[in-house]
Structure 1
Amino acid sequence: MTHTKGAVGSVAYSPNGQYVVSGSWDKTVQIWNAQTGVQVGEPFKGHADRVTSVAYSPDGQYVVSGSTDRTVRIWNAQTGVPVGKPLKGHTDIVTTVAYSPDGQYAVSGSSDKTVRIWNAQTGVQVGEPLNGHTSEVTSVAYSPDGQYMVSGSGDKTVRIWNAQTGVQIGEPLKGHTAWVMSVAYSPDGQYIVSGSGDKTVRIWDAQTGVQVGQPLKGHTQMVQSVAYSPDSQYVVSGSNDKTVRIWNGQTGVQVGEPLKGHTYWVKSVAYSPDGQYVVSGSHDMTVRIWNGQTGVQVRKPVEGHMYSATSVAYSPDGQYVVSGSDDRTVRIWNAQTGMQVGEPLKGHMNYVNSVAYSPDGQYAVSGSWDETVRIWNVQTGMQVGEALRGHMFSTVRIWNAQTGVQVEDPLKGHFDSVRAVAYSPDGQYVVSGSEDKTVRIWNAQTGFQVMEPLEGHTNGVNSVAYSPDVRIWNAQTGVQIGEPLKGHTAWVMSVAYSPDGQYIVSGSGDKTVRIWDAQTGVQVGQPLKGHTQMVQSVAYSPDSQYVVSGSNDKTVRIWNGQTGVQVGEPLKGHTYWVKSVAYSPDGQYVVSGSHDMTVRIWNGQTGVQVRKPVEGHMYSATSVAYSPDGQYVVSGSDDRTVRIWNAQTGMQVGEPLKGHMNYVNSVAYSPDGQYAVSGSWDETVRIWNVQTGMQVGEALRGHMFSVNSVAYSPDGQFVVSSSFDKTVRIWNAQTGVQVGESLKGHMNYVTSVAYSPDGQFVVSSSFDKTVRIWNAQTGVQVGEPLKGHTDIVRSVTYSPDGQYVVSGSDDETVRIWNAQTGVQVGEPLKGHRNSVTAVAYSCDGQYVVSGSYDKTVRTWNAQTGVQVGEPLKGHTQMVTSVACSPDGQYVVSGSEDHSVRIWRIQSGLHDACSLQLPPGISSGYIDNHGWLHSRNGPLILWLPPHMRHGFKDKRQVLSIPADAQDCALSVDWSNFVHGTQWTQCWNSA
């Protein structure tokens, strides 16, 4: 199975057990052959947002799906064609769908708190919505005889309904202490099973509503999905603890060990119709099938789409490694120390697919899904010239490496995407392999195709290589040499020649490595077996004695190229697929790149990892805030975590706060400093206890798109959030329940939100270029929108006295507004040279601080609008967030350079010199050679290059992490002597 581009939200077996249907966050429904794992047909496309739930009709002819686009759709399971129009009626996300046993009806549950029944043939809603739940409906199911329905909800109850009349039967089934996430009937109709956020599974008597026995305990996190086996004897459950568990439905005892393999929340589980297998879908983007008796995973998971280290290569001298990644960056690493050399090379707008060094080691070249080729100076990290543009999908192009100019016209001929290219050893020819199943050879000087395409492959060509002096071709005549090298039983993923040209090595999806005689095409010895999953990459050592291979089983293996015997144990350390392997030029080391986002270097003789993995993809610090007492800083990041830092030492306090499933956009402290709130791209708001690091209650759900900004009310009773769904929402901070209706009025994404100091008003900013003020109690907009900005308004906040509002915009200005009249106060504050991303007031209201894409933090006099002092420089990427300390002495800033920095804003703002200087010297400068001079010229101190920037600015007092580029430096001059006093360094003792 190869799957979707997003998390798998729901899975179900077809009635005959031959197929599995899955619904994904990539908006599609897909059918899979349950025996082979092969996708059947194309994905079913039509939903405008994530697919949350899927189910087969009893006859297997149709599939029903529910989505966050608020619609239910019915599909022909054979053709994938939608049956009729979407079923519309729900006013919020459709969370769950199911068919009636006779296939005549479909039932759906929604975040709008209702259950609705639909005629599956006409798409017409049957009767009124079933009302009763006081929170979103998370799961619905029919009884086997179709007479009843059961529903589970965020209100912690299970309810049973008459399927014909829609009337609730009896009282709600109570017992769970958190959201009920999933419900199901036993096939004999006697029991109902439910799974909950309280980590338990409970079984209920379907007739009396009484809980049967004790809760089934074992899961350590929320239970997302439950299902009965066809014989009603067993229950299967899937949980956020990443496990699937099977329970005896009569005794409540767990059967065997938990089924482990998923690397993220298990969202959906189901039994096969014969009860032999269990299928599970997870937020790790995989679907897995398990033997229901043994708990063993039956075959490879459906995996995909993690940020990968997709390509690695050694420099010609073996001192460095270059890597390209799905995170869009190219990185250079010291092969001896494992340290990243300089900053990531940024410029690509999509995944980097391939990297290579120039023969002299001075440059690296990279190719990307953004359709560009880029050349980088590896000493400076700077891109050389403009990106090489021109590719239109199926062409090969040659570029002048010095000028970036395309040489001749594109090499056209392939009819599908080009997957692999390589130069001949003498540089005269280029060979290319394509999805069109052909290999083509081109004259590198003229761009003309040399001979006819090399045809014979029956699928896309993934890898090509020249021999030094899997089909082998004569590079001059284009004639295939001998028969194809046959033996692999699955895709050949990688091929390479031995340096002496005598052998070819290949790695395959059949889990084997094979060596072939390059002259005869005969396989040499037996397949090299050991890998337990697909082999993604193979390479020879420089002396042709060894072969290295990397695999989806997360290991790197070294083999004796003569005997085929594995050398030592597998090299273990990677936590996901190994995508690329290579030997160092001296053969001493092996480098590997993986989907786990790391590059690792290994001793080729001992197999020992040489140092810690090269990890660098920690993403941006998107939002920062001070605790009310100024002792701590909270930060949110694109790495999906919230972190607490000691503001004095810069040390992280406790473990990262984990729970968000996507980038964290905004964080804020509660007024008492006990809690932090965060908003994320995962559409949720979460509240955290900062002492324990634990999430408080369930995530606050309701927004239909990314949550961009969060803030506490001054009394700590409420939280306000804004979203790309164009709404502002207010939540009760204790219960997590939304207060009133959403605040609607903005015509585009809402970017930022804040409370007035008295808690009476909320202010918001938007892509619609306006600022709006709302009554926090009624949700009504106060007055007209504040207009003046000429581009997106990114950030907004109130002054401490509530009289003014400040806003920052992509029009590069900061503007101050009278909060009562909505009139702009004075002229725009100009100085930033790019979008203003963040604004904040100092606690005394005297200053406004702003952060920008121009990498600077600036301070402004709030009364005059005049910039105070020089910009605060140090960040090496855009500044995403700013906040003032409670005492008004410091500013904290977060940036895409992955750092948080603290600046002193009161002292030194008007100094003639911001350098740190010894006592008695009022001014000075640093020359181009790194010497610190006093005002009249004498030398004081030489500074190493890496210290110069941090030394220049005494306003930056702390950097997190402490080794960030251009980090803050503090100098103790108490025992420093210079000039004519240097002899005092001598100690005669």
Structure 2
Amino acid sequence: MKSSFKFSNLCGTVYTKGNLVYTPDGNCVVSPVGNRVSVFDLVNNKSYTLPFEMRRDISRIALSPNATLLITVDEAGYAYLINFNRQTVLHRINFKSKVKDIVFSPNGKYVAVTHGKEVKVWKAPGFTREFSPFVLHRTYTGHFDDIIHISWSPDSNYFLTSSKDMTSKMYSLNPIADFKPVTLSGHRAAVLGAYFSSDMAHIYTISKDGALFHWRHASFADVRGLEEDELEEDFIDHVRWRVHEKHYFQQGHGVQVKSCQFHPQSNLVVVGFSNGVFGLYEVPSFVNIHSLSISQHKISTIAINPTGEWLAFGCRTLGQLLVWEWQSETYVLKQQGHYYDMNTLAYAPDGQTMVTGGDDGKVKVWNASSGFCFVTFSDHKSGVQAVSFAKQGQVVFSASMDGTVRAFDLVRYRNFRTFTSPNPVQFTSLAVDPSGEIVCAGTMDSFEIYVWSVQTGKLLDVLAGHEGPVSSLAFSSDGVTLLSGSWDHTARLWDVFGRNKHIEILQHQTEVLAVAYRPDNQQVACSTLDGQVSLWQPSDAKLMNTIDGRKDISGGRKLNDRTTADNNASGKAFHSLTYTADGASLLGGGNSKYICLYDLATTSLIRKFQISHNLSLDGAQEKLNARHMTEFGFNKEELEDEEASDLEDRLDNSLPGTQAGDLSARKTRPEIRAQSVQFSPTGHAWAAATTDGLMVYALDDTILFDPFDLEIDITPDSVLATLHDDQDYLKALCMAFRLNEQHITCQVFEGIPPDSVSLVARGLPQKYLDKLLAFIATHLETSPHLEFHLLWVTQLLTAHGRYLKGHRGEYQAVFRGLYKGITRVRDDIASLCDSNKYMMKYLLAQQTLAQSTLDKMDVTQG
């Protein structure tokens, strides 16, 4: 069993807080997700998470104009300098204060950072040779309250600041004679944004109360007493700025501006309001182009791509990320995670689809390769406690606390069957037999297990015997035996289809929290509240071995814990268990920051994964900082965030019908834990439903090292010489894969004659088989040589079909890529043929019509 799993992707969470940033090409959105950064490719419909973590939740991010450097700043002011292309951390710096905004200059040479009432401009790394990547250029003062926004002029010589003191100021980057910072005052609320126009002749400021001021400079002749022909080219240094026009958004009583953004090239202003409405305005005419309600909660941040076509919105309360194309009025991206905790997850049989259920009553289906949610079912009225796939992967079952078990069709995307009990109960566990004909659910209050027929929806049986809530269910792979775990200190084996329903009782010392069947049905694992994992032989109910996992899973100390992390292991236990595909190892997760992987042969711990290092979560740190403790035993970290300093931000109107609300919104820090863990059927990945979202861990293939492939004479010239001069096509193809240069591989692949494809395919070593198939799958969609690619696929499957059939699990991703590429090409050709067919019909009809018109004209003239 390989244990070299590493963090691969983060699904289930698309945005938490902070600002959104577009890449310079406008194709990707960079979003802060907790203490990580996710990148959403809007063109290729993919997402990936950068492989680093910060100490706390990220509050601001900044991307350089050439997309080479990324700066992320967390809540405490600790920043990372990251090579965005290589996805590596280059440097760390502590700004020692909370950062409200950080922006690169348009030329990429400077970085402006807010430090409370000051702005510090740093020289951007990479332009000069320096000892430290961050060199302070200047510090700018003048505001009387915190600065919340910075924007640069197009020439990078000036920048505007917006502050809570209801003013904006314009500073020059370098000292200029007789120039003093310009103060733009007149707003009656905090200024959220100030922006230069593209020609730097106008300034637009937007305040929290919904006012937009249009500023223009007085003529240079009025200020200096000069004639117009004596104007210098750079006159912005000494002009006076006056309010030219005042505009108000008029969104209703109590509605405030929460976010804004300006696109200088197209003069578009996008404003997000506290009621979930955003408005698109054209300035200076202040014409409302669009106004759309996209949420019931405030819009936290807005970003505009460089061409001004796509608008990105982030909603912190819902964890929602939207990309809207305003010209066509369509969504480019619409993603949202679970509103509350994610409770459970399940893998589809092919390993390419995952389903999750949460406390918000929603069932979400995710694509494992792209990381996007492609369907959400909101039929449940309460929290979803368990989900499961049918054998074919086309049906999803979910059990909820609302007393229903629902079956969802992934072909038509609908709830086609609802299973209920005669008396109202709360379902906490779920199991589906391998054939997909029987579904079982355990209850919280009646301590019974209900059995339904999927085809008819009728209740077949009620299994009674447990004396406590049924916490977990699992079917054997042959579908004969059902394993149940309960809080009554027992796990029971049931023969669902036999007359004698009750088979064996597996007695434990404490409550059973999770059960799992080994794939070969020769062993079952039961996790108990005392942190133990008991391994039983189901045939004779014999205890085979025991794993003491309390010390392994224990770790982390909450803010209110009176005991240290070492002495706080009493409440740590595994709430979810899953076997690997070969049954040699067991993976367990629970109410801890650790997920443990055990070897069953030796019952020893192979590896321990820490799901997050985020100190913003409760239970992530081992020791508490005594400096944060008051003399009354209260932890300062529990104090409310400074962002909720205003009364309207502190009001809690979450309950429907409330007007005044709670004057002190009571919020608790989320606790770090793994509610559910699941291995992929392919064995190459496993996922965990955690507080941060759906974390996917995959095998790290990069550490595999094959010294026999290293040869000093493998160069692009030698590869092409082997192809053209020696005409040794098999050797040239293998050398190209060793060199791993995309353009060289394309030349070699297309340089092999079609009559030699069969011979090369038969002689290809098996270790290059997956590389070649994956290359064909990606190259097929861009190359016009369709028959040549199909010939390669046919010959490879013919020559290596028996080997591929025996190792189908390892080549699942390659097969899916081939199927996807061939299907897409087929659909393109079919649509092209249909278009040509209808065009020919149209031309023939027009020819017939023209001929009949000419005939009529001849008859008329005759």
What TM-score, normalized by structure 2, do the two folds share? 0.47
Q: Give 1 or 2: higher helix fraction.
A: 2
TM-score w.r.t. structure 1 length? Answer: 0.42
